[in-house]
Amino acid sequence: MGNLLNLGLGRGDRPRSPDGKSPSWKISIGRSGGSSLPILFALLTSAVLAQEKPSTERISWQFPTENRYLAEEKPEKFFQPTISRRLKSGMFGFVRTSDPEPARIFERFHKGIDIKPLRRDAQGEPLDVVRAIADGLVVRVNEEEKISDYGKQVIVRHLWGEQPVYSIYGHLASTAVKVGQAVKTGDPLGVMGWTGPGLDRSRAHLHLEITFQINPRFEEWVKTAKPGRLWEPNRHGEWNGLNLMGIDPAPLLLAARQEKPKTWREALAGQPGGFVVRVAAPKARVNWTDWVQVQENCTGQETWEIEMTPWGLPLRVSASAVPSNGPELVANPGRPNEGKYYCRGLVEADGKGGMRLSKFGRQYLEMMMFTIRIPSKRLCGIFFRKALPIQNPSTTPGISQRSSQREDGVSRPSCQLKGSLAALITR
Show the domains of the chain with their CATH numbers.
1-52 (no CATH), 55-270 (2.70.70.10), 271-396 (no CATH)
* CA distances, 407 to each of 199, 246, 293 (Å): 11, 21, 36
Q: In three state form, how does the secondary structure of the chain look?
A: CCCCCCCCCCCCCCCCCCCCCCCCCCCCCCCCCCCCCHHHHHHHHHHHHCCCCCCCCCCCCCCCCCCCCCCCCCHHHCECCCCCCCHHHHCCEEEECCCCCCCCCCCEEECCEEECCCCECCCCCECCEEECCCCEEEEEEECCHHHCCCCEEEEEEEEECCEEEEEEEEEEEEECCCCCCEECCCCEEEEEECCCCCCCHHHCEEEEEEEEECCCCHHHHHHHHCCCCCCCCCCCHHHCHHHEEEECHHHHHHHHHCCCCCCHHHHHHCCCCCEEEEEECCCCCCHHHHCCEECCCCCCCCEEEEEECCCCCEEEEEEECCCCCCCEEEECCCCCCCHHHHHHHCEEECCCCCEEECHHHHHHHHHHHCCCCCCCCCCCHHHCEECCCCCCCCCCCCCCCCCCCCCCCCCCCCHHHHCCHHHHCEC
Residue 407 and residue 83 in contact, taking contact as beta carbons nearer than 8 Å: yes
pLDDT at position 373: 56
Q: For the chain, 427 residues long, give each residue's pLDDT as a single digit of tens.
A: 444 333 333 333 433 444 444 433 333 333 344 444 444 444 444 444 344 344 579 999 999 999 999 999 999 999 999 988 899 999 999 998 877 777 778 888 999 999 999 999 999 999 999 999 999 999 999 999 988 999 999 999 999 999 999 999 999 999 999 999 999 999 999 999 999 998 999 999 999 999 999 999 999 999 999 898 778 889 999 999 999 999 999 999 999 999 999 999 999 999 999 899 999 998 888 899 899 987 766 767 899 999 999 999 999 999 998 999 889 999 998 887 777 777 888 998 888 888 899 999 999 999 999 986 544 444 444 444 433 333 333 333 333 333 333 444 433 333 333 333 333 334 4
Tell me whether strands 293-294 and 385-386 are parallel, antiparallel or unpaired. Answer: parallel
Separation of CA 196 from chain center = 22
How far is it, in rounded angstroms, from Cα 203 to Cα 89?
A: 12
How far is it, in rounded angstroms, from Cα 188 to Cα 176?
A: 7
Residue 363: what are its φ and ψ, rounded to 5°? -65, -35
Residue 415 and residue 423 in contact, taking contact as beta carbons nearer than 8 Å: yes
How far is it, in rounded angstroms, from Cα 136 to Cα 340?
A: 32
Residue 219 and residue 234 in contact, taking contact as beta carbons nearer than 8 Å: yes
pLDDT at position 411: 34
Nearest by Cα to 56 from 271, 261, 267, 245:
261
pLDDT at position 74: 97
Residue 190: what are its φ and ψ, rounded to 5°? 170, -165
pLDDT at position 372: 64
How far is it, in rounded angstroms, from Cα 335 to Cα 398?
A: 8
pLDDT at position 405: 39
pLDDT at position 297: 67
How far is it, in rounded angstroms, from Cα 348 to Cα 302?
A: 26
pLDDT at position 106: 83
